[in-house]
Amino acid sequence: AQSVTQLGSHVSVSEGALVLLRCNYSSSVPPYLFWYVQYPNQGLQLLLKYTTGATLVKGINGFEAEFKKSETSFHLTKPSAHMSDAAEYFCAVSEGGTGGYQKVTFGIGTKLQVIP
């Protein structure tokens, strides 16, 4: 069975400060890991993903995440927060595979507030 834990349902940072959103996962097989972002009244969109290879993954809007197998973590970071980063962020895990269907488990989400 796979699961995702996002630490902190709400995170506040000042504009220009480091953004760190935490995600820990469990999976019985090598996982695929994702971060999605949801802006108000919109659907989720992919921010970045890890499948195989390089453990530091860069995404859109200056975000990046590092896959740490020993810590079962996939934390999301951005060096300098911008007001437009205010949104809800979801971490997700799947058991990979190249077929069309893969079960994906989402975390409960972290709402990021950026303070001017």
Among 32, 35, 63, 67, the residue binding other proteins under the rule CB under 8 A is 32
Contacts with other proteins: how many residues (CB under 8 A)? 26
Query: Least Å distance between CB 83 and other proteins?
Result: 23
Nearer to other proteins, 34 or 67 (CB): 34
CB 11 within 8 A of CB 110: yes
Among residue numbers 70 through 89, which ones bind other proteins (CB under 8 A)? Answer: none
Among 51, 59, 64, 72, the residue binding other proteins under the rule CB under 8 A is 51
Dihedral sign, Cα of residue 63, residue 69, residue 70, residue 74: positive
Among residue numbers 2 through 31, which ones bind other proteins (CB under 8 A)? Answer: 9
Give buried/exposed letters for 8-46 (b at 16+ CB in 10 A, else e).
Answer: eeebebeeeeebebbbbbebeeebbbbbbbeeeeeebee
d(CA 91, CA 109): 7
- Which residues contribute to the site for other proteins (CB under 8 A)? 9, 32, 34, 36, 41-46, 49, 51, 90, 94, 96-98, 100-104, 106-109
